[in-house]
A and B are shown apart, each in its own frame.
Chain A
Amino acid sequence: MKKGLRIRAAYLLLAAAFLLFLGLSLCVGSMPVGPREVTAVLLGRGEGAAAQVVLRLRLPRALAAALLGGALSVSGYLLQTFFATPIAGPYVLGISSGAKLAVSIVMVFAVQRLGALPFPLMMAAAFAGAMAVTLLILLFAGRARGMATLLVIGIMVGNVCAAVTDFFVTFADEAGVANLHAWSQGSFAGVSRENLLRAAPLILAALAAVFLLCKPISAFRLGEAYAQSMGVNVRAFRVLLIALSSLLSAGVTALTGPISFVGVAVPQLSRLLLGTSRPEHMIPGTLLLGAAFCMGCDLAARTAFAPTELAVSTVTAFFGAPVVIALMLRRSAGREEA
């Protein structure tokens, strides 16, 4: 019963954080809008510049940050389940960089030939890039799935992808590069309403599918061998995990560019907050916390040094990287005890 209370309190806190950052995202900016006015605008009773700013600019951006941040976090949670290590995430494993590389290549060529990059093509490229890197890591990591090995491979693959991306940028024409540069920084600002609406059904469907995997994810906590002995079809489950995780991180990366440390840090924090690793709580909890976290980081990115806007990755790294370091330290301390 104590545990049930703890989980309820955690959800309450998460919901409060979500609403707080959503509210702040709508109110705060170069043109401050009061909470009362924001409420009026949301109820359809606002008018003038305030309504324009809130409905056209801030609300779509906040919702993009919430949905994409949540999706990125869940993607990280799936990778952590897959690799059975808390240190996995789409960014630290170089999967975001893979998506970025594929999008860069397609972007440079598409701008040359078509003048613009159609969004479905961008999505497909991001997904292909994410999958390619994941398979590469699986190939390298093989059976020896030590945390350090995995991390080193991820960093190396990420760097190689970055180098190849730079190569393409160097030889691309100016228009292509301008596009690429804005996107590759990682930002929720550039997410257009149409693209968000196109990607949202796909992302929501993937999230729903993740939730349907609660039962095998739960069994997988005891490791692959036990999961198999209890009736999990391990091979099919692994393929599903990787496909869904890549779909989510690719969907996000196609819209925002690579965003660092969200996928690795948020599931850790939500697990600590909830006090349980049960997937039926971890999935909604991680989704909510990722949403709140990214709205908060985006808010900080656009207001901290206004009118200069930071890349959102700068902010997420600032808050996310220490979580990873703390995790590594706690792990190695635990190992010495054992």
Chain B
Amino acid sequence: MERDIRLGMRNLSVGYGGKTVVGGIDAGVAAGEILVLVGPNGSGKSTVLKTLCRRLRPVSGTVELSGEDAFRLSARQAASRMAVLLTHQPHPELVTCFEVAALGRYPHTGFMGRLTPLDRAAVEESLRQAGVWALRGADFGRISDGQRQRVLLARALCQQPEVLLLDEPTTYLDLGGKIALLEILQRLAKEKGVAVVLSLHEIDLAKGIGDQVLCLKDGRVQAMGAPEEVLSARGMEKLFDLPAGVYAPGAGIRFGTDGKEAAG
């Protein structure tokens, strides 16, 4: 079957000032797929994501959005295809959560940014999806980090992208929040066909959520493939330089079961 590649990386090398941090990445994320980046601290996960979201020009190679060079698109064209969730949280003053989420409509609204009823409906739906509908009138500066992360996710959702990039989106969340967030991403991929790329530190979570996993280490792609192959105990020992036998995953985390086969 022909895969409908939304985000492509072709012989991509990323880095700063012409110096390569990670090189030789060849990967494609199709509509409805989730790609997870894992790797030790400093392995370049963020640098890769920064390049994918067009903030950093590649050292060499290309990033493609639905087959077009991402760096040749205008800011607005790119924004209507791709949304991001960053690790670093902004702290704007005196702005409601609804307003923050509504900023996601930016590429879809007119010159003065007025929201049409359609825009409002999209924002409302995304706030509900992200589980922060109740916070819509709250001041964005006065909610918890985890709640802020969900509001920022709602913003990315109502941007209605084909590709969603998330840099360590689980950082501010507790375990329940992490699972809820990843389930939202899974639904987004399966139901709306969004191509999702995210970096994760939690291997258990990566196993449950990823269609593909890309392991970065020492400036290159160490392994890439289905999670059950790549994220084996052996693979993880190699990736994180662990002594043999230290990493012993249990049942892990099951996504999308809705509790049906819980505690079986």
A and B bind: yes
Known pairs A215-B111, A230-B159; A222 contacts B78 (CB<8 A) = no
Please name all residues of chain B whose beta carbon is closer than 8 Å to the beta carbon of A219 when the two chains form the complex.
Answer: 103, 106
Please name all residues of chain B whose beta carbon is closer than 8 Å to the beta carbon of A275 when the two chains form the complex.
Answer: 94
* Chain A CB within 8 A of B30 CB: no
A59 to chain B, nearest CB (A): 34
Chain A contacts with B in 219-266, Cβ cutoff 8 A: 219, 221-223, 225-226, 228-234
* Chain A CB within 8 A of B112 CB: yes
Please name all residues of chain B whose beta carbon is closer than 8 Å to the beta carbon of A280 when the two chains form the complex.
Answer: 112
Number of A-B pairs, beta carbon distance below 8 Å: 78
Please name all residues of chain A whose beta carbon is closer than 8 Å to the beta carbon of B53 when the two chains form the complex.
Answer: 229
* Chain B CB within 8 A of A277 CB: yes
Which of the segments B85-93, B117-125, B187-195 contacts the partner chain? B85-93
Contact assessment for B106 and A232 in the assembled complex, using a CB-CB cutoff below 8 Å: yes
Contact assessment for B92 and A278 in the assembled complex, using a CB-CB cutoff below 8 Å: no
Known pairs A229-B83, A231-B79, A232-B75; A218 contacts B93 (CB<8 A) = no
Please name all residues of chain B whose beta carbon is closer than 8 Å to the beta carbon of A232 when the two chains form the complex.
Answer: 75, 106
A63 to chain B, nearest CB (A): 29
* Chain A CB within 8 A of B113 CB: yes
Please name all residues of chain B whose beta carbon is closer than 8 Å to the beta carbon of A86 when the two chains form the complex.
Answer: 93
A274→B92 CA distance, assembly (Å): 15
Known pairs A226-B86, A229-B82; A214 contacts B113 (CB<8 A) = yes
Contact assessment for B55 and A226 in the assembled complex, using a CB-CB cutoff below 8 Å: no
Contact assessment for B86 and A225 in the assembled complex, using a CB-CB cutoff below 8 Å: yes
Contact assessment for B55 and A228 in the assembled complex, using a CB-CB cutoff below 8 Å: yes
Contact assessment for A221 and B95 in the assembled complex, using a CB-CB cutoff below 8 Å: yes
Known pairs A214-B112, A231-B106; A278 contacts B82 (CB<8 A) = no
**Interface hub of A223, A226, A229, A234 (most chain B Cβ within 10 A):** A229
Interface size on A, residues (CB 8 A): 26
Chain A contacts with B in 85-125, Cβ cutoff 8 A: 86
Please name all residues of chain A whose beta carbon is closer than 8 Å to the beta carbon of B254 when the two chains form the complex.
Answer: none
Contact assessment for B112 and A215 in the assembled complex, using a CB-CB cutoff below 8 Å: yes
Please name all residues of chain B whose beta carbon is closer than 8 Å to the beta carbon of A212 when the two chains form the complex.
Answer: 111-112
Please name all residues of chain B whose beta carbon is closer than 8 Å to the beta carbon of A230 when the two chains form the complex.
Answer: 79, 83, 103-104, 106-107, 159
* Chain B CB within 8 A of A52 CB: no
B165 to chain A, nearest CB (A): 8
Contact assessment for B75 and A233 in the assembled complex, using a CB-CB cutoff below 8 Å: yes
B232 to chain A, nearest CB (A): 35
* Chain A CB within 8 A of B66 CB: no
* Chain A CB within 8 A of B237 CB: no
A142 to chain B, nearest CB (A): 14
Interface size on B, residues (CB 8 A): 32
A59→B248 CA distance, assembly (Å): 82
From B159, which residue of chain A is reached at the shortest CB distance?
Answer: A230
* Chain B CB within 8 A of A276 CB: yes
* Chain A CB within 8 A of B257 CB: no
**Interface hub of B78, B82, B106 (most chain A Cβ within 10 A):** B106
* Chain A CB within 8 A of B84 CB: yes
A234→B53 CA distance, assembly (Å): 14
Contact assessment for B106 and A271 in the assembled complex, using a CB-CB cutoff below 8 Å: no
Contact assessment for B75 and A228 in the assembled complex, using a CB-CB cutoff below 8 Å: yes
Contact assessment for B103 and A222 in the assembled complex, using a CB-CB cutoff below 8 Å: yes
Contact assessment for B92 and A222 in the assembled complex, using a CB-CB cutoff below 8 Å: yes
Chain A contacts with B in 300-316, Cβ cutoff 8 A: none
Contact assessment for B54 and A228 in the assembled complex, using a CB-CB cutoff below 8 Å: yes
A311 to chain B, nearest CB (A): 32
A215→B83 CA distance, assembly (Å): 18
A274→B95 CA distance, assembly (Å): 11
Chain A contacts with B in 254-297, Cβ cutoff 8 A: 271, 274-278, 280
Contact with B along A205-223 (1 / 0, CB 8 A): 0000000101100110111
Chain B contacts with A in 54-78, Cβ cutoff 8 A: 54-55, 74-76, 78
* Chain A CB within 8 A of B41 CB: no
Please name all residues of chain A whose beta carbon is closer than 8 Å to the beta carbon of B84 when the two chains form the complex.
Answer: 225-226, 229
Q: Considering the complex of A and B, which 3 residue pairs feature the smallest CB-CB distances, nearest first?
A: A231-B79, A215-B113, A221-B92
A228-B55, A230-B106 known; 5 new pairs, CB 8 Å cut-off, are: A215-B109, A215-B111, A223-B88, A229-B83, A231-B75
By a beta-carbon cutoff of 8 Å, the part of chain A in contact with chain B is 3, 86, 212, 214-215, 218-219, 221-223, 225-226, 228-234, 271, 274-278, 280
20 A-B contacts (beta carbon < 8 Å): A86-B93, A212-B111, A214-B112, A218-B113, A219-B106, A221-B90, A221-B95, A222-B92, A223-B88, A228-B75, A229-B54, A229-B84, A230-B79, A230-B106, A231-B76, A231-B80, A232-B106, A276-B95, A277-B92, A280-B112
